[in-house]
Structure 1
Amino acid sequence: MLLGVPKEIKNHEYRVGLTPGSVRELTQRGHRVLVETSAGAGVGFADTDYLVAGAELVANAAEVFARAELIVKIKEPQPDECRQLRAGQILFTYLHLAPDPQQLALLLASGVTAIAYETVTAPGGGLPLLAPMSEVAGRMAIQAGASCLEKSRGGAGILLGGVPGVAPGRVAILGGGVVGYNAARMALGLGADVTLIERSGERLRWLDAQFSGRVRTLFATRDNIEAACLTADLIVGAVLIPGAAAPRLLDREQISRLHPGTVLVDVAIDQGGCFATSRPTTHADPTYSVDGVVHYCVANMPGAVARTSTLALNNATLPFVMALADLGWVQALRADPHLRNGLNLHAGQLTCAPVGEAQGIPTVDAEQVLKII
């Protein structure tokens, strides 16, 4: 199969869909890989590294999109990229379609077969292609939030760990999944006073055991969420419903009652955000304030640590890329129900029910699509 890796064009996005090591694995299996010039430069991979791995370098993204059968990316395609996709082509990347009607409309019009990293599942549960970036984002949420608490950045001027004789900062984490767990680890490591709120009783018991009682765990009721947030200095939104729009956990009125200088880090912003006042920001302009509350809502947080993120993600995606290349997308999805869960679009049809519900668009079942091909 002929695979293509374009350079990412989203604001301050330096990650790359395939590392030279991944390219070598694919070329050794008889596949061809097109890589746009300088696609890996942002994470320290030179064009010569790709050439040594067996890739063919091309001068621009247009050639990648025009020639490749399978496009492997990191971030959702931007409008210009969507318009270059075509029917019969496979796109494998993060999509986050639920809050993005423009991207959805363009991809439906293109006729492309789109498989989303974030809805691929694992045999034991979980989301194996979202987990590596969730680990990064959870840890970065505390790093970014701690920085935003500095007075010069609009925060309340609080050091999360405190100092002898001064209480530590208070952190409320909404969601106890991969993001929430990693955020709690980082906050606890800095010496913060941490409250973690989760709706699964089983997960709460696991979290309590992991932290040996050093993190305060609460069941996710409206009262508990409100009480924890109104006293917090840093609030991390870490909720996820696979493929669907994120639930809103703090409304506009509640946010107006947060004390000035509180910091909100909305890791759920890719799925629309979990705070009423959230809107996507970029690494170039990461924050804004509403009622004196600092909002950090960068939609590609792991892109700030692009090399770590690229390597971690490639470790997870490479087996699926090889399956798609070796078997073709139809046989790969028929053979693996978990990869099949990643199918979001095919030939102008939406196949992800949570996206359809969020956008008010009818869907078709992925298994039915595979039966008629």
Structure 2
Amino acid sequence: MIIGVPKEIKNNENRVALTPAGAQELLKAGHTVYVQSTAGLGSGFEDAEYVSAGASILPTIEEVYDIAEMIMKVKEPIEAEYPLIKENQLVFTYFHFASYEPLTKAMVESKSVCLAYETVEKADRSLPLLVPMSEVAGRMAIQEGAKYLEKPLKGRGILLGGVPGVRPAKVLILGGGVVGTNAAKIAAGMGADVTIMDINLPRLRYLDDVMPANVNTFMSNEYNIRELIGTHDLIVGAVLIPGAKAPHLITKDMLKDMRPGTVLVDVAVDQGGCIETCKPTTHQDPTYVIDDVLHYCVANMPGAVPYTSTLALTNATLPYALQLANKGWQKACKENLELKLGLNIIKGEIVYQAVGEAFNLPYTSVDNFLN
């Protein structure tokens, strides 16, 4: 199979979908890999390293899309890329369709095959291609939140861990999954007073067992959320429903109950956000203020630490990419239910129910394309 790796063109997206080591593994399996010139530079990988691994370098993004049977990316295609995607071309990347209808319609019109990292799902309901970036984003949520609590950046002016004789900041984390757990670890390690909320009682029991003493667990419901938001300094939205739009756990009217300078970090922004007043921002312009509450809603947080993120992502995606390349997408998805669940759009048809329901668009069974 011919695999193409274009350079990411989303604002301040420095990750690349494949490391030189990953390219070498695909080449060893008999495939051809084309990488756009400087695609890996933001992550610390020179063109020469890809060439040394056996890949070929192409100067433009148009040439990569034109030659490839499978495109490997990090973030969803943006508008400039829509016309480049060809009929029957396999695009393997994060899509987050349910949060953006124009992308969904553009991919339907392209008649390509869209296999989304974020809906590849194991039998235990875990999301193996979302986990590494969720780990990065969860840890970064506290790192960024701590920074934006500083007064010059319009935060409350509170040090996350406090100092002797002064109470630490209070951190509220909505969601006890991968993002929330990693956020809690970092916040606790920095000395904050942490509360993590979830609707899953067994999960809360587990977190209560493994987290340090400065992390408390609390059942998530509207009453409890409203009770806590007025006393917490940093609130992290970390809720995910696979492939679907995130629910709004914090509504606009709740902002008035928060103290001026409270910081909201919505890690779920690329799935629509679990904070109603959330809207996607960029690393170039990451924050905005509504009702004296600071919102940090960068949709590609791991892009700020591309070396770590690219290595973590390739570690997770490469085994699946090899299956797709070795067998072709139809056979690979028929034989591997995890990959099958990653199929969102096939040749002009939506095949992932949550995506169709998000925009009241028709959807069909993925099995129609695999039999």
How would you bin the TM-score normalised by the shorter chain?
over 0.9
1:286 is matched with 286
2:325 is matched with 325
Q: 1:214 deviation in Å?
A: 3.4
1:72 is matched with 72
Q: 1:212 deviation in Å?
A: 4.9
After superposition, residues 338-357 of structure 1 pair within 5 angstroms as 338-357=338-357
Q: Which runs of 4+ in 1 moved over 3 A?
A: none
SS in 1 for 2:305: helix
Distance 1:48 1:366 in 2: 40
**Is 1:137 the equivalent of 2:137?**
yes
After superposition, residues 1-373 of structure 1 pair within 5 angstroms as 1-371=1-371
Q: 1:120 to 1:155 in 2, by over 3 A?
A: same
Distance 1:49 1:157 in 2: 45
Distance 2:72 2:346 in 1: 16
Contact 1:261–1:292 (CA<8 Å) still a contact in 2? yes
SS in 2 for 1:92: strand
Gaps of 5+ in 2: none
Contact 2:172–2:196 (CA<8 Å) still a contact in 1? yes
State the TM-score, normalized to the length of structure 1: 0.98
Q: 1:355 deviation in Å?
A: 1.1
Distance 2:86 2:48 in 1: 30
SS in 2 for 1:98: helix
Q: 1:213 deviation in Å?
A: 4.5
Distance 1:178 1:123 in 2: 17
- Higher deviation after alignment, 296-305 or 221-230: 221-230
Contact 2:238–2:268 (CA<8 Å) still a contact in 1? yes
- Higher deviation after alignment, 198-207 or 232-241: 198-207
SS in 2 for 1:242: coil
Distance 1:212 1:299 in 2: 29
Q: Which amino acid aligns with 1:347?
A: K
Contact 2:151–2:157 (CA<8 Å) still a contact in 1? yes
Q: Which amino acid aligns with 1:81?
A: E
Distance 1:320 1:76 in 2: 18
Q: 1:138 deviation in Å?
A: 0.2
Q: 1:224 deviation in Å?
A: 1.0
Q: 1:366 deviation in Å?
A: 1.2
Q: Deviations over 1:232-274 (max 9, x none)?
A: 1000000000000010011111112211000000000000111
Distance 2:38 2:86 in 1: 24
Q: Which amino acid aligns with 2:255?
A: I
Gaps of 5+ in 1: none
- Higher deviation after alignment, 129-138 or 218-227: 218-227
Contact 1:8–1:15 (CA<8 Å) still a contact in 2? yes
Question: Alpha carbon RMSD of aligned pairs, Å?
Answer: 0.8
Q: 1:90 deviation in Å?
A: 0.2
Distance 1:99 1:211 in 2: 32
SS in 2 for 1:249: coil
Q: Which amino acid aligns with 1:228?
A: L
Distance 1:103 1:275 in 2: 22
Distance 1:81 1:110 in 2: 11
- Higher deviation after alignment, 356-365 or 315-324: 356-365
Distance 2:337 2:291 in 1: 47
Contact 2:65–2:85 (CA<8 Å) still a contact in 1? yes
Q: Which amino acid aligns with 1:56?
A: S
SS in 1 for 2:241: coil
Q: Which amino acid aligns with 2:278?
A: S
SS in 1 for 2:84: coil
Distance 1:15 1:176 in 2: 26
Distance 2:149 2:24 in 1: 44
Q: 1:370 deviation in Å?
A: 1.2
Q: 1:220 to 1:116 in 2, by over 3 A?
A: same
Contact 1:175–1:238 (CA<8 Å) still a contact in 2? yes
Contact 1:333–1:340 (CA<8 Å) still a contact in 2? yes
Q: Which amino acid aligns with 2:281?
A: T
Q: Which amino acid aligns with 1:66?
A: D
Q: Which amino acid aligns with 1:199?
A: I
Contact 1:195–1:228 (CA<8 Å) still a contact in 2? no
Distance 1:235 1:270 in 2: 17
Contact 1:173–1:196 (CA<8 Å) still a contact in 2? yes
Q: Deviations over 1:186-207 (max 9, x none)?
A: 0000000000000111111111
SS in 2 for 1:83: helix
SS in 2 for 1:155: coil
Distance 2:368 2:30 in 1: 31
Identical-pair percentage: 52
State the TM-score, normalized to the length of structure 2: 0.99
